[in-house]
Amino acid sequence: MKLRTRAAAYGVAGLALAGVVIFSGSALGLLSTTSSGILSVLLTDPPSVPSGVSAVYVTYSSIAVHASGFSDSGWVSFAGGGTIDTLKLVNSSQTISSGNVPSLTYNMVRFNITKVVVEYMGANYTADVASGKLTASIVGGVKVDSSVPAAALIDIQPTVLNLGNQTDPSFTMAAGARALQVPSDEVSPSMREVGNNYSLQGHSWFQTFKQRPSDNLTVSGLMLSSGTFSFSAANTGTDPAIIRMVILTPATKGGESGVMGGSMSNSIFFLLLPDGSMRLVNGTPGEINSYLGSAGFSLAAGALHSFTFRGTITSLLGKRGVSTGSQYDVVLMGSETLATQVVTAS
């Protein structure tokens, strides 16, 4: 299930990236090969945002790719950084870096989000970032050699929440990321140009990738009633997954969820504790941001855990309960947006 997104007009702010690769000392020694090839890094996917948001400017830096078969010494860094309006990435992507790297296969890409500015009702607001460091596994890896240019496409999955209200907004953003190789027969010389846009409309390989569930976390057994909420989470990745909070947002007739529509008070919040239990959160929307930085529950790689809450379930301000037969978006959040699904209350 995908939360509804809003499209904004094309726009890029402050984009300035050098298409040069800087090798660390360890990379020069351990990643040295007889040849090198050109690798371009592209970004796609607009965020899920509240109503009234017309732009989400994300400032990023420290882009790097990791060579398969190496440990921490396998990271190769791209110089520079920039700012991009992610709401323009509707069925399209944009090159954020390009350069020469050793002829190897790369299995991960990472970058930092240093600042997020949200344009809301014509004014700009700096948003808190739940986690500024994103690492994405490249599905199947991306092979680079001297004969054929290569490109990796990062699919970021950010969620922007308005923890305030319409007159006094307060934004926070959590994001996850995954990546894949652009088919070699679709890699063009224009992809080397930072800022170049590449349409993803009608590409079956990308649509298949988008329809795949999260590579690291799968959710099953969702059950919700006025007095019980339960689900199971499985971590299929190779690293622990931190889950801090679960948000249940009532879906409206137009398909827009409560959180996305800005109705934080109508949403239900559960805090996940280190012992694997859940606690219902009743309070003010302003408290939610602090919970996104809590210890949360660490789900080990390859592990499965079942979560259950029993008791009267009410919305954040305690004014609304669970409505039988109604649908709710279920969003798991940690240092990133981990998974989204839908459940019908019984």
Quick: pLDDT tens for 79-96.
778 999 988 888 899 999
Locate tokens 């690798």: which residue?
39
206 three-state secondary structure: helix
What is the distance between the alpha carbons of residues 157 and 87, in angstroms, rounded to a whole number?
12
Q: What's the pLDDT at 187?
A: 94
pLDDT tens for residues 13-40?
333 333 344 344 334 345 555 688 999 9
Query: What does the domain layout of the chain look like in residue ranges?
Result: 21-211, 217-344
Both tokens of 218, joined, read: 């799968």
Contact 342, 319 (CB under 8 A): no
Better-predicted residue by pLDDT, 257 or 189:
189
Average pLDDT rounded to a whole number, residues 221-225? 96
What is the distance between the alpha carbons of residues 335 and 192, in angstroms, rounded to a whole number?
31
Q: What's the pLDDT at 254?
A: 47
**What is the fold of 217-344?**
Immunoglobulin-like (2.60.40)
Closest among 66, 75, 65, 62 to 17, alpha carbons compared: 62
CA separation (Å) from 46 to 53, 187, 216, 292? Answer: 12, 22, 21, 22
Contact 39, 182 (CB under 8 A): no
pTM above 0.85, yes or no: no
Reported as a pLDDT band with limits 50, 70 and 90, residue 313 is: very high
